[in-house]
Structure 1
């Protein structure tokens, strides 16, 4: 094994060694140590290697694995380790030159093949230790979703969540131990999982495939989502202004946003919806509002939003360098100076102001730094006696600039 990396990640199917490719068999035969979950090591035949059961939680086994560096080690994983599997986690700790992966068909592939679903148009999620709310932005009637779950009890819990969101009419396909002798596929409506018609004795490993149906509220794809999906105390960038603001911020994959003056967190949350690789930090001085932002993030499936309770610009000191910054509150010379200094070349800044003082300040910075200065005035029809009239909102001055 001199030309082989010390670590081999071997994907196993439900049949363990049955049908395992020759390269995977040889890696197991040559290994000095084999690490894997209890379920995986129980499937192995007698081997010369020392067998180490991977601890729970998963993170505790990484240091143990790294202590074996230099020895021929096999780590056992389910199916394809890089499709909602452990491979991506390990790759953050071990350089590519030190490992190789020998995947088997993923449970997602097996599920799609069993149901006849095109995998390229099917959403897939690993929800072993994640909230079902991660599915919230993807609940559209006719959508197809495949998720992995920690155990059989989680199927009923997911069904309960779907019912609470108004999607109890969704068809659930419960797929157990795919690819092995224990394989079983059953079908039920989400609402029926909460009745005496519920499926029982659901065996691990389990995959749940969902055909979304129902009349629950959906989250639109375009920027400027409805205000009422964000819990707020009135401190929120309203939908039309938010749409214009996100357009000016121009999010791109892999970018990082500072949302200063978070309010309800709506700007940061909509930024994250643009792409799964996006990052954002919402900075909010009011502790109650900051906790509300965290609640919104959890409820809307965007827990990767980082929320900092503190006063900007001091609270910005330890944050990573942003690709874009939105200032929605607390605009001052000090704030703009700090943000401008931290913003890299080609970084984007968007600031909204509603007061006369903020308007003057933004006009000065626009004159010095360039960019676009826009005054946004909106009016909505409201009852006026027995008829209707226009009620204007406070005008917003928006400065947007690329450094």
Structure 2
């Protein structure tokens, strides 16, 4: 059994006496150098190496049979080492004694209801991850990250910096450049921000014409039906709009884009970063040759339907209960969908969209290319 103890900015003196007594009963302490220096006594002290995760199993094995205590910041189960240890060892082998988290302390200082606040960790992550959380009137707490980068992404928001929360050097101010390394940034969003509902404006994307248009994109995403934690393959990704809007529906949604054109692949990466999902993975290559990834929960084929073996590979790879959606704008691609619809079932839908356009001094309808959509769900085994 490993004991994990949360420590605040108030250090050893801020821990209850019962917790201090429990720490004293252990043989070896793990933690950062700063945390280890806080604890009096003659323990063996093991500072965390960097990087930590690859070394963690070996460290614990080297001290097997000894009474081990891990020191953590705040609540160890909130973006902390406690969660990592539970995943590694199982809940039966980890006992957690939490301290109030920096998020709880920040909300207490600001008077913000914790259940109405979005929390985003930027520890070791790009600030663009904030983008999907920026909505008028919303409040965010940002953990870690570079204050100047947060400001550049959040635009017209109002910022509050909370430093050393709960400690003797606690300070609350609005000067981002002077932030202490141990800080939380409170963000009161301004007017910017796109909806999380699929169907962003076409001009939200950088593209060369290879873009699933807004109305068709909304229908396509509805059929793909993203759920938290799921993985999408976007094959023939073009500008990446389907994968990007899939990923924006929930922070745990993942997507892999396959695009053979290198300039378009680079464009996908720029679009993903600009719209707040920089973890969308982009693979340059031809399908089906490069389609060797983790099992997808959904697959979208927006291009390459006539490539021999591409659709078959996607179907074979799809998880039971997974969804496949393919869009066709040419007769050749449509014939492929009709053939597979006969063989595998599902549904065929034709979407025809017209948009207003000027005709002289008047306004008329300008039809877009009709799109045939095939949607099928793979049967559960």
SS at match of 2:233: strand
SS at match of 2:38: coil
- Rate the CA distance shift 1:62–1:272 in 2: closer, same or farther, 3 A: same
Unaligned runs of 5+ in 2: none
Partner of 2:324: 349
Tell me, in whole angstroms, the C-alpha distance in 2 between the residues paired with 1:266 and 1:286: 15
TM-superposed deviation, 1:103 = 1.0
CA contact (8 A) 2:85 2:94 kept: no
SS at match of 2:336: helix
CA contact (8 A) 2:138 2:188 kept: yes
TM-superposed deviation, 1:12 = 0.3
TM-superposed deviation, 1:87 = 2.5
- Rate the CA distance shift 1:304–1:362 in 2: closer, same or farther, 3 A: same
Tell me, in whole angstroms, the C-alpha distance in 1 between the residues paired with 2:304 and 2:43: 62
SS at match of 1:210: strand
Tell me, in whole angstroms, the C-alpha distance in 2 between the residues paired with 1:21 and 1:249: 51
5 Å matches for 1:4-403? Answer: 5=1, 7-22=2-17, 24-45=19-40, 47-59=41-53, 61-63=55-57, 65-66=59-60, 67-149=62-144, 154-162=146-154, 166-167=155-156, 170-187=157-174, 200=178, 202-213=179-190, 215-216=191-192, 218-316=193-291, 318-332=292-306, 334-403=309-378
TM-score w.r.t. the length of structure 2 is: 0.92
Q: Output one character per residue of 1:140-199: Cα deviation in whole Å (capped at 9) or x when no partner.
A: 22111111225xxx334422443xxx41xx2221111111111111235xxxx5xxxxx6
TM-superposed deviation, 1:210 = 1.1
CA contact (8 A) 1:254 1:277 kept: yes
TM-superposed deviation, 1:325 = 0.8
CA contact (8 A) 1:137 1:301 kept: yes
TM-superposed deviation, 1:63 = 4.8
Tell me, in whole angstroms, the C-alpha distance in 2 between the residues paired with 1:121 and 1:75: 31
Tell me, in whole angstroms, the C-alpha distance in 2 between the residues paired with 1:73 and 1:11: 14
SS at match of 2:11: coil
- Rate the CA distance shift 1:313–1:23 in 2: closer, same or farther, 3 A: farther
SS at match of 1:264: coil
TM-superposed deviation, 1:372 = 1.0
TM-superposed deviation, 1:309 = 1.4
Tell me, in whole angstroms, the C-alpha distance in 1 between the residues paired with 2:270 and 2:33: 35
Tell me, in whole angstroms, the C-alpha distance in 2 between the residues paired with 1:87 and 1:264: 39
CA contact (8 A) 1:84 1:125 kept: no
CA contact (8 A) 1:11 1:80 kept: yes
Tell me, in whole angstroms, the C-alpha distance in 1 between the residues paired with 2:63 and 2:281: 35
Aligned CA-pair RMSD: 2.0
- Structure 1 window deviating more from structure 2 (82-91 vs 391-400): it is 82-91
CA contact (8 A) 1:33 1:74 kept: yes
SS at match of 1:14: coil
Count of aligned pairs: 376
Tell me, in whole angstroms, the C-alpha distance in 2 between the residues paired with 1:32 and 1:300: 49
- Rate the CA distance shift 1:18–1:314 in 2: closer, same or farther, 3 A: same
CA contact (8 A) 1:133 1:299 kept: yes
SS at match of 2:217: helix
TM-superposed deviation, 1:40 = 1.3
TM-superposed deviation, 1:105 = 0.5
Tell me, in whole angstroms, the C-alpha distance in 2 between the residues paired with 1:279 and 1:131: 16
